[in-house]
Amino acid sequence: MSYVVLVFKKGFGFDEQTARRKMMEVHEQGRSIVWSG
């Protein structure tokens, strides 16, 4: 498991699939919304 996925899972409480999707958004677009509120 990559460090980025681990941070998304442990830090933000995402499941595996969501964490991997967010990682790819960051990789491809340079950013990803992880918190709103």
Q: How far apart are CA 3 and CA 37, in angstroms?
A: 25
Per-domain residue ranges of the chain:
1-32
pLDDT more than 90, % of the chain: 95
- Total count of residues recorded for the chain: 37
Q: Please report where in the chains the tokens 């509120």 appear, as a residue.
A: 37
> pTM for this structure?
0.84
Q: Which DSSP string do the residues of the chain spell out, in sequence order?
A: --HHHHHHHHHH---HHHHHHHHHHHHHHS-------
Rounded Cα distance between 16 and 32, Å, is 16
pLDDT of residue 7: 96
1 pLDDT higher than 90: no
